Structure 1
Amino acid sequence: MPGPSGGLIHHVELWVDDLVAAEEQWAPVMLALGCAPFQSWQAGRSWRLGDCYLVLEQSPALRPGGHDRLRAGLNHVAVHGSRAVVGAALAAGWTLRVDTGDTAHLVDRQGFELEVVCA
């Protein structure tokens, strides 16, 4: 069986309740991480770095109830970053949950958590 061409992760797709609000918070962070806008359609946006990309989608198939990182499913996304990425997130309205100095755990308005590993 052939291995992955660029790495383990091809893409991560997050279904959000409010695409406009999610884009307002995620776009500055993705740009600070060095990602470039990749795809844009009525219900979604994505940003790419190398062979990997992140998708935000407000799908019409989305069930009501919102995201809860403490339920079964995705707890958080962790990325290699810097203090500048943390600053971009805070400026975009993310809430700082935990900052150890080496990592910062940030939460957006819809409850998604992003861990920025700054080591």
Structure 2
Amino acid sequence: MLHHVEINVTDLNKTKEFWGWFLSELNYEVYQKWDSGISWKFKKTYIVFVQTEERFIKAGYHRSQVGLNHLAFYADSRDQVDRMTEKLKERNIPILYQDRHPFAGGVDHYAVFFEGPDRMKVELVAPE
């Protein structure tokens, strides 16, 4: 089991808005808060977001560079993937691979892929 993941972000307020609603949909709860960060926890695993220092923001992030490519979460069902897809569209959150959605990961992989505020790819996967 994964203990935690910590991600540096360019805009903590945008991060809280984006990840707050998404993670709450997956039953994560706010775990820790401080001036430059926040974490959400589900069972024993938590995800931490920390405001990047101004001097490091210029370098930027891209999922194709060395480092984290994306985070993938389990959905409860295909229906949850579909409901979340509609909520993402309502929030104008970029959905990736729309031409192959919801099977962008393959014929046996029902999921929605989308981008967070720092263009990190996020995936919500239905059980097989």
Q: Select the structure that is richer in helix.
A: 2
Common topology (TM > 0.5): yes
Distance 1:90 1:11, change over 3 A: farther
Where 1:66 maps in the other structure, the secondary structure is coil
Q: Which runs of 4+ in 1 moved over 3 A?
A: 84-93
In structure 2, C-alpha distance between the alignment counterparts of 1:91 and 1:38, rounded to whole Å: 27
In structure 2, C-alpha distance between the alignment counterparts of 1:62 and 1:49, rounded to whole Å: 32
Kept in 2: contact 1:25–1:89 (CA 8 A): no
User: Hey, what does 2:17 align to over in structure 1?
Assistant: 24
- 1:35-46 correspondence to structure 2 within 5 Å: 35-46=28-39
Q: Which stretch shows the higher mean deviation, 107-116 or 94-103? A: 94-103
**Identity score, percent:** 24
Distance 1:14 1:86, change over 3 A: farther
Kept in 2: contact 1:29–1:89 (CA 8 A): no
Distance 1:62 1:56, change over 3 A: farther
What's the CA shift for 1:61?
7.7
What's the CA shift for 1:62?
6.4
Structure 2: gaps of 5 or more residues? 104-109
- 1:1-119 correspondence to structure 2 within 5 Å: 7=1, 9-60=2-53, 63=56, 64-81=58-75, 82-83=80-81, 84-98=83-97, 99-101=101-103, 102-119=110-127
Distance 1:37 1:107, change over 3 A: same
In structure 2, C-alpha distance between the alignment counterparts of 1:32 and 1:20, rounded to whole Å: 19
Distance 1:46 1:23, change over 3 A: same
Output one character per residue of 1:75-102: Cα deviation in whole Å (capped at 9) or x when no partner.
0000102323444444444210022251
* TM-score, normalised with respect to structure 2: 0.78
